[in-house]
């Protein structure tokens, strides 16, 4: 009976560990911000395994050291832990060198442990450390600490190693995505410059639109993914103008009704180009509806209204309109900052989301 209860307890713990691993894996893929990924790993691992502390160190290949990048709880008493650990030194350094996990049953008797004073103050009595490996490449070291002596067993080592390997994959994927994003943004900047030149905009129009949209996004507290959509949309919102006649875009006089109807097609042309290119779904409605008015007017004629228009499109509409107003065009002079802000205020609630306008005006006021 006791053996059966013991097996049941082990099975329950195993299932909980698997569930925790799944939750951590899911969380790790929710952002492209490396610091957010690392903090998430440390916090989730400590919570899942009931540890007093989890530390995550990344391997610096150039200097051959482990750099502390995230902890589940960092305060002034932990500052000694922030020092780099050379590979081969201390518990974590040894784990990195041998690429093999290690359990320390009693930290007070472990001569290799580099921070005995901190351990005594914080009440850490045992430690488990595993290498983070991805395709046989050392990515870093993941360590957990307990306030109980001899707290960790072989199954704890196995589950932490699973966490470590999953974390290594997530970290490498995030790094690759960041490199790819940098390349993509270089291409987007080049492309945006070509579009700005075609439309006779002042230089760096798209760059300024991007800065405005991201400032609003930060103020609202949008997610990293939403900011990425805004970053790309700032460069690509007028991509549909590629399909328009240059004579229309550079015409110094008022457009005819027929010419204006052609201009109004550019969001739909742009959305279609992005759709065919297989770009992220969130980018398409942002480009499609950035000229769609809050009250349902604007273009395209059919589409969502009010808060049903994506927040990214509502932000882009305000940022793009302001930047357009303060820029000189072939058919008019630039408006002053004061006049442009007055126009945003006048159109709040009709053309623009009033909350977005209010936030943007506060940002502009701070920048003066």
pLDDT tens readout for residues 284-303: 999 999 999 999 999 999 99
Query: Quick one: which H or E segment has residue 60?
Result: strand 53-60
Over residues 253-279, mean pLDDT: 86
The residues of the chain that CATH labels 1.10.3210.10 are 199-367
pTM higher than 0.75, yes or no? no
Among the listed residues 292, 136, 282, the one whose alpha carbon sits nearest the alpha carbon of residue 222 = 282
* CA gap 70, 68 in Å, rounded: 6
Mean pLDDT on 33-49:
82
Alpha carbons within 13 angstroms on the beta-carbon side of residue 329 total 16
Residue 247 CA to residue 237 CA, distance in Å, equals 20
Work out the burial of residue 61: count CB atoms within 10 Å of its CB; fewer than 13 is exposed, 13-18 middle, 19 or more buried: exposed
- Residue 201 has what pLDDT? 55
Note the maximum CA span of the chain.
Answer: 92
Ranges for all domains in the chain classified under CATH 3.30.450.40: 2-174
Banded model confidence at residue 62, pLDDT cuts 50, 70, 90: confident
Q: What is the pLDDT of residues 188-201, one digit of tens each?
A: 555 655 565 555 55
Class of domain 199-367: mainly alpha
**CA of residue 135 relative to chain centroid, distance:** 25
Query: Roughly what angle, to the nearest 10 degrees, separates helices 337-347 and 354-367?
Result: 160
Q: Is the pLDDT of residue 210 over 70?
A: yes
Percent of the chain surpassing pLDDT 90: 48
Query: Which token pair is 208?
Result: 């300024």
pLDDT given for residue 207 in this prediction: 83
- What is the rounded CA–CA span in Å between residue 259 and residue 321? 20
* H helix runs in the chain, sequence order: 2-28, 34-49, 90-98, 116-122, 154-198, 205-220, 224-236, 246-249, 257-263, 266-277, 283-288, 311-325, 337-347, 354-367
2-174 placed in CATH 3.30.450.40: yes
């Amino acid at each position: 009976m006791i053996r059966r209860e013991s097996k049941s307890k082990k099975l329950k713990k195993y299932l909980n560990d698997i569930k925790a691993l799944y939750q951590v894996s899911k969380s790790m893929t929710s952002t492209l911000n490396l610091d957010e990924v690392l903090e998430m790993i440390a916090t989730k691992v400590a919570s899942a395994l009931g540890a007093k502390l989890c530390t995550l160190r990344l391997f610096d290949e150039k200097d051959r050291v482990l750099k502390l990048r995230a902890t589940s709880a960092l305060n002034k008493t932990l500052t000694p832990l922030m020092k780099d650990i050379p590979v081969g030194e201390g518990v974590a350094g040894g784990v990195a060198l041998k690429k093999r996990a290690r359990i320390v049953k009693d930290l007070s008797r472990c001569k290799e442990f580099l921070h005995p004073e901190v351990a005594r103050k914080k009440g850490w009595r045992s430690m488990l450390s595993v290498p983070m490996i991805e395709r046989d490449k050392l990515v870093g070291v993941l360590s957990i600490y307990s306030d109980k002596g001899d707290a960790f067993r072989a199954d704890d080592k196995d589950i932490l190693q699973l966490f470590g390997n999953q974390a290594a994959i997530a970290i490498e994927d995030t790094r690759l995505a960041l490199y790819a994003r940098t390349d993509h943004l270089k291409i987007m900047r080049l492309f945006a410059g070509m579009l700005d030149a075609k439309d006779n905009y002042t230089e760096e129009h798209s760059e300024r639109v991007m800065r405005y949209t991201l400032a609003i996004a930060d103020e609202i507290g949008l997610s990293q993914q939403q900011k990425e959509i805004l970053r790309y949309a700032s460069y690509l919102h007028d991509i549909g103008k590629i399909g328009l006649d240059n004579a229309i875009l550079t015409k110094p006089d008022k457009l005819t009704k027929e010419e204006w109807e052609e201009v109004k097609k550019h969001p739909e042309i742009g959305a279609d180009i992005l759709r065919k290119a297989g770009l992220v779904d969130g980018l398409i409605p942002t480009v499609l509806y950035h000229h769609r008015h809050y009250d349902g007017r604007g273009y395209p004629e059919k589409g969502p209204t009010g808060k049903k228009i994506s927040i990214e499109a509502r932000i882009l509409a305000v940022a793009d309109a302001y930047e357009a107003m303060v820029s000189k065009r072939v058919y008019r002079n630039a408006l002053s900052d004061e006049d442009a802000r007055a126009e945003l205020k006048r159109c709040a609630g009709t053309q623009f989301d009033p909350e977005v306008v209010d936030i943007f005006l506060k940002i502009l006021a701070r920048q003066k």
